[in-house]
Amino acid sequence: MKRRAEAVLQFNRFYRKFLGERHNELPCTSFSLTEIRILRELESGRTDTAAALARDLALDSGYLSRILTGFERQQLISRRASEADARQTLLSLTEAGRAACASLAAAAVGGVMGLLATLSIAEQEQLIDAMELVQKLLG
């Protein structure tokens, strides 16, 4: 069991490093990986409050608050009081926020396409199958 747990942790370290390297290859982005995760979560529509973002993304609420304040200054998000619960503030992307997400998504897809192009079709399918298996087993 310990060997298997260590193998999972090793893969996790590999994949985090891999993602970090891919992030550094993104053209013209000033966003950190955490900021991109927040923007993508807001874009998905599954999360609409700071508390839910902090919980879903396992982020410190103070750190998240600073990022959201920066997004607001950049006019990437807007805040409005919840009609259902005045204690909550709802977050949503502005047009500029949606445009930033679209640009980031296009760059990410292009980067992955470049990565996949280095593999044969059979290797691409093997990779996708392995990724789907990981999601199925752990999801």
Question: What is the Cα–Cα distance from 88 to 76, expressed in whole angstroms?
Answer: 19
Tens of pLDDT, residue by residue over 111-135, are 889 889 999 999 999 999 999 999 9
pLDDT grade for 63, boundaries at 50, 70 and 90? very high
Neighbours of 97 (CB within 10 A): 20
- Whether CATH 3.40.640.10 fits 23-138: no
Q: Nearest 5 degrees, angle CA 108-CA 36-CA 34?
A: 125
Tell me what the mean pLDDT of segment 29-36 comes to.
Answer: 87
Strands (E), the chain: 77-81, 89-93
* Predicted pLDDT of residue 27: 64
Contacts of 57 (CB under 8 A, 6+ apart): 34, 37, 38, 41, 64
SS3 64: helix
The structural domains of the chain, with segments of one domain joined by +, span: 23-138
Alpha helices in 58-94 (DSSP H): 61-73
* Residue 110: pLDDT over 80: yes
44 close to 30: Cβ distance less than 8 angstroms: no
* Predicted pLDDT of residue 29: 75
| DSSP state for residue 26 in the 8-state scheme | S
* Residue 83: pLDDT over 90: no
* Residue 99: pLDDT over 80: yes
Contacts of 129 (CB under 8 A, 6+ apart): none
* Residue 9: pLDDT over 80: yes
